[in-house]
Amino acid sequence: AYDYLRSFDVADPEADAERLYYLTECARRLGRDEEMLALTERLGRLYPNSPWRLNALVSAANRYLLDNQTDKYIPLYRACYENFPAAEEASYCHWKVTWHFYLTRRPEAANLLREHLSRYPGSEKAAAALYFLGRLAERQGASGAARTWYEALQARFPNYYYAHAAEERLRRADLKQASPSAEAAAFLNKIAWPERPVADGFEPSPAVRLRLQRARLLGAAGLDALREEELRFGAATDGQPHVVALELARVMSATNPVHRVIRTLKDLVPANLRFRQEQAPKQFWTFLFPFPHRSLIESSARRHRVDPFLIAGLVRQESEFNPGAVSPARAYGLAQILPSQGRILARQTGLRRFRISMLFQPAVNLHLGTYFLRSLLDKFQGRMEVALAAYNAGPNRAERWLSWAEFEEPAEFIETIPFTETRNYVAAVLRNAEIYRRLYAPVKAPPSSVKPGSPAAQPLKKAPVTKSPGGAGKSRSKQR
């Protein structure tokens, strides 16, 4: 393909820009990085405003991101958001530059974090920007500003990983006693935040009340398929999807496995985490965060000295508690274990006559998955963020990422992970664990377990190199 694309000329400018883009992709896949960069620069000279140039910039920058070549990826990401400010990729590229400046302790970091919120208020990194503005304010001794950033984060992004991290910071005495910053509050008031779904509680409106009555009549008549169709239509059209979806979850829970109930709520109420815990009935949360196989999880957690809430949070993220789940990477069961990995873990735990089909057995899968997580926690000195990254993407990658900087707190390591899937996975598991703790405590965790998700500012040092099962990891994700 590379030779063919080089062999002809194209008269139409946009078609030639497309040809050059695919040449950069060929060069990238062939490992010809310098050629890829030269082609990207040529695209910029010939067709500076073409969307194919934007694609090439992001692709080339992501290639260098994987190797932490900051001198090469920073100019590419900057060219992306400066030349294509309205593009969907602009906020992503701006954040990569912002994060580099923050992690390298550059004085421009604060302005870039503010700029990210002003330019891209709908960015998926808005919560992270608020959190790290708070951390910068703390380092500068501006307790009032830190409190303002953290409280804004909690109000707008409840149940996010960074909201839980902010909550822990706000327990500090100096922040509790600090007066909010008028300057930070004024800045926040000027941001054109995207509209959020109206959180009008769970009292049904008249239209929704009629919808629920019709659905219940259909159910009483034994017309279960029509009842579900009625509720799904109502969730899409009646203006209170959370109310109708909760009714559907109640109906489904009688005959459906929990993973289908979770998936239904996620699909019908995609903004489900925007509710504060006290805004929704407890049943709403227990449907979203169920705790099946609880006795098995607690037993495995005690046996391997791991927090049971962490295991529950991991299983929810891996399989949504579907014991028959099979991932695109062919990982099996509740904790999503690869067959090759399962054989190694079975030998290490003394499980005889192991067969791949045993990974679909909850007791076996949870035992092996918990043991594997324990081995990663031991390898990385109890650092949950790193252990979870290794669980998803492999210990070798996690160890490599750990060498990229002197991280002052776990959140910095998480934000530096170059794979979007793994980065989001780690944050989600820690968030899940905290929600499970709030919903299902008290469950006594083993004395030697480590509380997940703590954002305490503990410097992360490189872990010693030791062998660990499943070194390849399960992640098939790319950067971003």
Active site residues: 318
Nearest to 129 by CA among 115, 143, 142: 115
Residue with tokens 């980065």: 423
Q: Provide the 10 A C-beta neighbour count for residue 455.
A: 22
Q: Which two tokens stand for residue 410?
A: 């776990």
Separation CA 262–CA 138 (nearest Å): 38
Separation CA 346–CA 251 (nearest Å): 39
What 3-state DSSP class applies to 101?
A: helix
Kindly state the greatest CA–CA separation across the chain.
71
Q: Provide the 10 A C-beta neighbour count for residue 176.
A: 10
**Number of H-type helices and E-type strands within the chain:** 25, 0
Q: Which two tokens stand for residue 250?
A: 């109640």
Q: Which two tokens stand for residue 28?
A: 């990238």
Beta strands, E only, 224-323: none
Residue with tokens 């005959």: 255
Q: Measured in Å, how far apart are the chain's first and last C-alpha atoms? A: 26
Q: Which two tokens stand for residue 450?
A: 């480590």
At what angle are helices 13-29 and 51-66 packed, to 10 degrees? 10
Residue with tokens 């208020």: 121
Q: Are the CB atoms for 248 and 218 separated by under 8 Å? A: no
Nearest to 109 by CA among 139, 153, 89, 87: 139
| DSSP class of 178 | S
- Torsion angle of alpha carbons 158, 162, 168, 169, nearest 10°? -120
Alpha helices of 224-331 — where are they, by DSSP H? 224-237, 241-253, 258-268, 282-288, 294-304, 308-319
At what angle are helices 161-169 and 143-156 packed, to 10 degrees? 150
List beta partners, residue 407: 460
For 189, counting Cβ atoms within 10 Å of its Cβ (0-12 exposed, 13-18 middle, 19+ buried), the class is exposed
